[in-house]
Structure 1
Amino acid sequence: MAIVMASDVAGTSSVGGIRQVWRRREGELLARLALLRDEVFEAAGAAAALPLEDSDGAWRSAEAVANLIHFCIARLRDVRSADTLVAEQLCGLILQLQQLAMDLYLHDTGQRSQRLADCAAGLSRLRTIPDTTALLDVACAEIVLRCGFHRAVLSRVEGRSWRPSMAHFGLDRAANSWFVDWVNQRIPLDSRAPEAQLLTERRPSLVYDTAEAPVYRPIMDAGQSRSYVAAPILHGDDVLGFIHADHYPLTRRTDESDRDVLWAFTEGFSHIYERAVLLERLHDHRDRVRDVIAAAVDRMDVLCESGMDVARQRRSDGHEPEPILYPAGYGNVADLTEREAAVFQLMVAGATNRAIADHLVITEGTVKSHVKHILRKFGAANRAQAIAWSFAGERAPYDSALSGDRPPAPAAAQRSSR
């Protein structure tokens, strides 16, 4: 479960600033609409039933503008020819309303384009996360911070039910404390519910009014959601989960633009999630192959070491070698195999078994086996003793020379003397 506030995530200032600009612009357009509406009613001497543009956003305001234009045209038909002043006022208001309609359209399309661009930026950042668990943890935060929503909830799908798993709330956290009680709670999938469309058609769903839709009433009442959009997270043909998003605690309802933006995000997120799953499987296969190869190399080292030990101990008369006995103290590095020497060099540097395994691309068990052989060859009880005796063994010839003893002749010289 994860409940994250917008202030908990870095890098939100630029997106939040752009969002504030769009909201301010939308407020200006709604104020113009309210002013023109009053002027229309004053000029016509009557009022008309209009959508609640002050709570539903600019897209519903376009419907209100259209209604006002039709209302003005209808009133023009009833204006007497002598009432030229009223006719001029109504014609002027129609022109202003048409200009407002164009401004609302440009605002809506511009805001949608900006949200889709921010959505693409968020998905681009998610592509750098190779872990599926981490992807699910930050999905809701990206939706709120990048896609223009104020609340997002991710749920896992299990058969014919769904379970809320994590959420991100962009505003007052105390107002969203209800979510804790719903985490991992099983919610049945009614065939009439909007979520059923996500499961069967793999397409998003827009619920404009939860009071009239066949939604799961208990969780909607708990979250006080009056309108929301939902979209599926896919892995191939399977629906892994749902994303629910809305504008709570604002009174604004969700619209087609919200649905399209969330759909764009979930489609991109589904591809990123599927890629992360494939990468995790590839890494798992790579580690398994690496372990197999490392075990084979370790076995070959053991066989080669046994063969060299036998060759060193074999006597000239052809009899079988005597048991190998390694005297204690002053081990000889030359007795180590190539792989053991590499391990021993890292031991001298103070590396742990885990660090040695990562450096040589072998398993930690293989490292332990090499360390065991090294200690046995040095006759040492532990790593520190083996390192100390190896240093002492390297200094022994020089100490003998300083004391006046003649150092042993090189092996090549001994062979030549024979």
Structure 2
Amino acid sequence: MVTSGTADFAALADRLMGATEAQTSTMRAPGERIGDGIVAVLEAVDALRRDEPAAGDVLAACGRALCAAAIFDRVMVSRVDGSIWSPRIVYRITTDGRVVTETVSDDDAGDLDIALASPLIEAEVVRRRLPALVSAADREPRAHRALITRLRTTEYVTAPVVVDNTVRALVHADNADTGRELSAVDRDLLRLYVDNVGVHWERTDLSARQVHQQRMLSDVCMATMGTVTAVQAEPLGAGGSMKIAGLSEQSALMPSATRTRPPVAESGTISARLARLTGREREVLALLASGATNAQLADRLTVAESTVKSHVKHILHKIGAGNRAAAIACYLRESRNDERRTR
């Protein structure tokens, strides 16, 4: 026969057991969330590597891959150019697992070129190169109001994509559809992802730079071969010597020992051409000769690409070069002549 006291004790034991199981489940949930999130991030990184996007397509590809991993409901990618932040594309994952895109338009979000100035949250993210978790975004005075209204988000995480020690992009993410509350775990998962994106972007840039250098080297070789062909086509002088532009008839009749020395007039002409350039223009020309692209020059000199193009145009005009390859060939010849004169 079970007494009342025994029944009460059994009920209390059952309640304690249930509370213990609930607490264990609650404690296990964050760990499972972290583990599942890391797996999803690694899958997104693998998907990005498999796609092998070109340098100009990495930003869009990284947003799509992250959204497809279903870590967040929505992902927005933005380009960062110096002190300007430009939201580009929003990716959303549907209930059936499809990724759809929408462009952030001027009519809805205001000016797409947003100045990264204090006290904007994104300005701090770019300056410190650290991710951020923004709660109560609709009431956060440091958030970009027009964009928050356009996206109808109440909280989000954001992180910078750092490429070659420069912030090239921002990635934002939220759970606007499911309403799952974001936490520091989501912020750290996003950081893990963008760090890998930055490494992949650097690798892609390096590959593109190698291709560009090979193309430039080929152009320089072709320009040099054209010069050699033109010189070989010149008729021989009366003394059997080749006529070289910039040398007088008297120099063509000088003894062979004298003629074998480097043509001073030619190197002097090249030196005079480069002397017309400003210090900044000579720096740009040296970087061009190293194979740097306009984007890489802009990053190195901390100027806009339009400024780089203007510098290149002035350089070509001043030294009388028809294209970049001819300008680089001129620079390389002068560099070799300088080395010979210092020996």
Q: Same fold (TM over 0.5)?
A: yes
Equivalent residue for 1:118, pick from 43, 56, 73: 43
- The answer (yes or no) to whether the contact 2:75–2:91 under 8 Å persists in 1 is yes
Percentage of pairs with the same residue? 22
- Count of paired positions: 228
TM-score between the two structures when normalised by the length of structure 2: 0.56
- The answer (yes or no) to whether the contact 1:115–1:261 under 8 Å persists in 2 is no
Please show how residues 208-357 of structure 1 align to structure 2 within 5 Å. Answer: 208-214=135-141, 215-301=143-229
Alignment CA distance shift 1:232-1:177 (3 Å): closer
Q: Helix, strand or coil for the counterpart of 1:263?
A: helix
**Paired letter, 2:34:** T
- Superposed CA deviations along residues 377-402 of structure 1, whole A, max 9, x for unmatched, are xxxxxxxxxxxxxxxxxxxxxxxxxx
**Paired letter, 2:164:** G
For the pair shown, the structure with the greater C-alpha radius of gyration is: 1
- The answer (yes or no) to whether the contact 1:208–1:255 under 8 Å persists in 2 is no
| Map of 1:195 onto structure 2 | 122
Counterpart CA distance in 1 for 2:138 and 2:111 is 25
Counterpart CA distance in 1 for 2:180 and 2:123 is 25
- The answer (yes or no) to whether the contact 1:118–1:147 under 8 Å persists in 2 is no
Q: Helix, strand or coil for the counterpart of 1:149?
A: coil
Please show how residues 172-183 of structure 1 align to structure 2 within 5 Å. Answer: 179-181=104-106, 182=109
Q: Helix, strand or coil for the counterpart of 1:203?
A: coil
How far has the Cα of 1:263 moved from its partner? 0.9
How far has the Cα of 1:176 moved from its partner? 7.9
Aligned residues: CA RMSD? 3.4
How far has the Cα of 1:205 moved from its partner? 0.6
Alignment CA distance shift 1:187-1:305 (3 Å): closer
| Map of 1:171 onto structure 2 | 94
How far has the Cα of 1:225 moved from its partner? 0.8
**Paired letter, 2:180:** R
Counterpart CA distance in 2 for 1:163 and 1:279 is 26
Alignment CA distance shift 1:262-1:122 (3 Å): farther
How far has the Cα of 1:213 moved from its partner? 2.9
| Map of 1:141 onto structure 2 | 64
Counterpart CA distance in 1 for 2:117 and 2:188 is 24
**Paired letter, 2:134:** V
How far has the Cα of 1:289 moved from its partner? 1.6
Counterpart CA distance in 1 for 2:17 and 2:196 is 47
Q: Helix, strand or coil for the counterpart of 1:191?
A: coil
How far has the Cα of 1:303 moved from its partner? 5.8
- The answer (yes or no) to whether the contact 2:88–2:103 under 8 Å persists in 1 is no
Unaligned runs of 5+ in 2: 236-343
Counterpart CA distance in 2 for 1:195 and 1:81 is 63
Does structure 1 residue 93 correspond to structure 2 residue 21?
no
Counterpart CA distance in 2 for 1:297 and 1:176 is 50
- The answer (yes or no) to whether the contact 1:228–1:254 under 8 Å persists in 2 is yes
**Paired letter, 1:201:** R
- Superposed CA deviations along residues 316-345 of structure 1, whole A, max 9, x for unmatched, are xxxxxxxxxxxxxxxxxxxxxxxxxxxxxx
**Paired letter, 1:267:** D
How far has the Cα of 1:134 moved from its partner? 1.7
- Superposed CA deviations along residues 8-45 of structure 1, whole A, max 9, x for unmatched, are xxxxxxxxxxxxxxxxxxxxxxxxxxxxxxxxxxxxxx
Q: Helix, strand or coil for the counterpart of 1:211?
A: helix
Equivalent residue for 1:150, pick from 52, 61, 73: 73
How far has the Cα of 1:269 moved from its partner? 1.3
Alignment CA distance shift 1:280-1:105 (3 Å): closer
Moved more, 219-228 or 146-155: 146-155
Alignment CA distance shift 1:161-1:300 (3 Å): closer
| Map of 1:362 onto structure 2 | none
Moved more, 112-121 or 223-232: 112-121
Unaligned runs of 5+ in 1: 1-79, 308-418
**Paired letter, 1:235:** V
How far has the Cα of 1:204 moved from its partner? 0.7
Alignment CA distance shift 1:223-1:105 (3 Å): closer
**Paired letter, 2:140:** A
How far has the Cα of 1:145 moved from its partner? 1.1
Moved more, 222-231 or 290-299: 290-299
- The answer (yes or no) to whether the contact 1:116–1:147 under 8 Å persists in 2 is no
Alignment CA distance shift 1:108-1:169 (3 Å): closer
- The answer (yes or no) to whether the contact 2:90–2:101 under 8 Å persists in 1 is no
Does structure 1 residue 207 correspond to structure 2 residue 134?
yes
- Superposed CA deviations along residues 179-209 of structure 1, whole A, max 9, x for unmatched, are 3233862334453433133112101111133
Counterpart CA distance in 1 for 2:47 and 2:57 is 14
- Superposed CA deviations along residues 102-142 of structure 1, whole A, max 9, x for unmatched, are 5424532331232132133134325x33x321212322111
Counterpart CA distance in 2 for 1:104 and 1:293 is 63
Alignment CA distance shift 1:176-1:222 (3 Å): farther
| Map of 2:282 onto structure 1 | none
Counterpart CA distance in 1 for 2:233 and 2:80 is 56
**Paired letter, 1:200:** R
Counterpart CA distance in 1 for 2:57 and 2:84 is 24
**Paired letter, 2:92:** F
- The answer (yes or no) to whether the contact 1:231–1:262 under 8 Å persists in 2 is yes
Q: Helix, strand or coil for the counterpart of 1:100?
A: helix
Alignment CA distance shift 1:125-1:257 (3 Å): farther
Alignment CA distance shift 1:240-1:110 (3 Å): closer
